[in-house]
A and B are shown apart, each in its own frame.
Chain A
Amino acid sequence: MASRTWQRLRDDRAARVAIVILGCTVAVALLSPWIAPFDPTFQPDPVGLRLAAPSWRHPLGTDVFSRDVLSRLLVGARLSLGVAVGAMLLSATLGTALGALAAVVGGWVDWLVSALVDILLAVPRLLLVVALVATFGALSPVWLALLLGGTGWLTTARIVRAEMRDQQQREYILAARALGASRWRITWRHLLPAVAPQVTVAAVLALAAVVPLEAALSFVGLGVQAPLPSWGNILLDGSDYLTTAWWLVVFPVAVITGTIGAALVLADRLRTAIAGQEYGR
């Protein structure tokens, strides 16, 4: 079944494009220290080159400290994508595992997991991170990823639990049960693949949520510290000059949107490929 999925994905043009875009972004992010034209913290001329519009030398312009925006975006991608992917993987794994446990084992495990969900839910994520930063001081990117991942699994868990419980009532599951299949086997072979589409969508959305969250933290001054660039604090620096230096906002937004867009398209195509059949075709 898996090989058929990959086959279908390979044949899908939109998926191929998305994979290429994402692959390039990840490659660029990883290679950024070498391919960035300038050091992202280098300030060639804080007075003369301040807020310079895009030019040949600085294709995406310079920011308020005369740092090259292109270089900052490239190196910032590393940090932001790293944190986002790390958080996404953690939250997807945790969410699926806990959601599955709650749905399949049920009983007091379900009770415990849903209590855990409620506990984490009671405090909005941003405020939780603010509280932690206020307590422990500025967070390193690793801790940021752990934190965001550790608090971002709720959606996934909820969806997985809801979907699995729904699936458990289906005839084919009941039949498998009647045939004596173990719960583990049923989970692994039937339920998990059934929720995979939803989980991928949720995971990609979780990824998409991390970047703005990181930007929000920078906005209140508690994000990644200068001079390290991240997409979040590039946006923050640009938010003061919305009407006068459009390149500070337009390019980061384009990059973020492009990356997230590619990820969402991929998720969509993946879901279709897994399902094997497609509505409307």
Chain B
Amino acid sequence: MKRLVVARLLQAAAVIAVVVTSVFVLLQFAPGDPFAASLEGTDIPPGVRAEWRARYGFDLPPGERFVRWIGALAHGQLGYAASQRRTVASVLADALPRTLLLVGVALILGFTFGVLAGLLQVRHHRRWPDRLLGALTLGGVAMPEFLLGLLAMTWLGARWRLFPVAGLASEGDVNAWPLWERALDHLWHLALPAGVLALSVAARVARHQRAALLGVMQEDYIRTARAKGVGAWDVLRRHALPNAMAPVIALLGLAMPSLVGGAVLIEKIFGWPGMGLTLFDALLARDYPLILAATLLSTVVVVAARALADLLAAAFDPRGLRAT
């Protein structure tokens, strides 16, 4: 077991190092820096822009810049996000909780409903619930997220006014409201973006879950259980589901990066300025301290989540664990 932990840690360190370095190298090919187009229209002489570049280290050769960044990182300093004119730490402190909330809620809802839908489909295999859910999940998979988002915003938001169109909170005398009401308002604003994401996730999970369950349901031990008179739901719940969770858990592991990377288009459409939008804008502005910090964060989360997913898989299927 100890060997496993050490191997995992080494792997984690290697992965983080490779990702961050590759992103940095990639950025060097992209022309521009945050100061090139910032404050366009101003009469900032080239000399002054050059001075700003020098102040934030943009004029150094790439290798030295990278080393400096790592050095600063070692002291716990994430640097300065020139494209937003504030520290990287404050940018992340704003954006990360928003994305965690959005994607977290979407993933929880999506996976729950996806697994349930898959179960329902198999329980009523080839009957109308199966077909109906199949059609719905097909729609969820085929439709691009941004289109779903735009449709939801236009109809549910702007036309029928069931939900707010965008933003983190309502305007108005929010500070005078009690905390519970503010929280409720925040959730109301979360409803559309998280809902659209959850739909997308649920559709994919449902399809995977259905396929996995159907595969398991053909096993002999299932037939034995049915022959013994175990009810259909019990069979599904106690025998089939645990054995069919492996691919779904794999999916969950794969969805982890979006907890940090965010859902760029949904955030863009619904005015939810989280990590996805931040990283996207940072990429376009070539703001490398921000990009690197966000990438680092994302990698750490991925590595941690992967370990968690592996543990969960082992918990569901002890046979797999014994083999390692």
Contact = CB atoms under 8 A, between A and B. Distances in A.
B125 interface: yes
Contacts of B139: 257
B265 A163 contact: no
A111 B144 contact: no
A253 interface: yes
Contact of B142 (A115, A119, A208, A216): A208
B118 interface: no
Interface residues of B, number: 69
A211 B144 contact: yes
B305 to A, nearest CB: 9
Given A127-B283, A134-B283, A243 B15 contact: no
A210 to B, nearest CB: 11
Contacts of A220: 264-265, 268, 280
Interface string B293-319: 001001100110010000001000101
Contact of B264 (A127, A135, A280): A127
B214 A279 contact: yes
A155 interface: yes
B239 interface: no
B126 A280 contact: yes
B188 to A, nearest CB: 23
Q: How large is the interface on A (under 10, 10 to 19, 20 to 34, 35 or more residues)?
A: 35 or more
| Residue of A118, A158, A209, A268 ringed by the most chain B CB atoms within 10 A | A118
A226 interface: no
Contacts of A232: 144
B197 to A, nearest CB: 13
Interface stretch (B67-75, B160-168, B177-185, B247-255): B247-255
Interface string A129-173: 011101110000000000000000011001100110110110000
A237 B319 CA distance: 52
Contact of B207 (A135, A159, A205, A242): A205
Contacts of B126: 280
Given A134-B284, A279-B125, A197 B30 contact: no
Contacts, number: 178
A54 interface: no
B150 A239 contact: yes
A216 B247 contact: no
A65 to B, nearest CB: 20
A121 B146 contact: no
Given A122-B302, A201-B211, A219-B146, A169 B323 contact: yes
A118 B306 contact: yes
Contacts of A132: 26
Interface in B10-30: 11-12, 14-15, 18-19, 22-23, 26-27, 29-30
Contacts of B204: 205
A102 to B, nearest CB: 13
B319 A275 contact: no
A123 B261 contact: yes
B174 interface: no
Contact of A121 (B12, B143, B207, B254): B254
16 contacts: A118-B15, A121-B302, A122-B299, A123-B298, A127-B261, A127-B283, A131-B30, A132-B26, A166-B317, A198-B215, A211-B144, A219-B144, A220-B264, A239-B146, A253-B143, A279-B214
What 4 A-B pairs are tightest by C-beta distance, nearest first? Answer: A212-B144, A124-B261, A122-B299, A257-B142
Interface of B: 7, 11-12, 14-15, 18-19, 22-23, 26-27, 29-30, 122, 125-126, 138-139, 141-147, 150-151, 154, 159, 204, 207-208, 211-212, 214-215, 217-218, 246-247, 250-251, 253-254, 256-258, 261-262, 264-265, 268, 276, 279-280, 283-284, 286, 295, 298-299, 302-303, 306, 313, 317, 319-320, 323
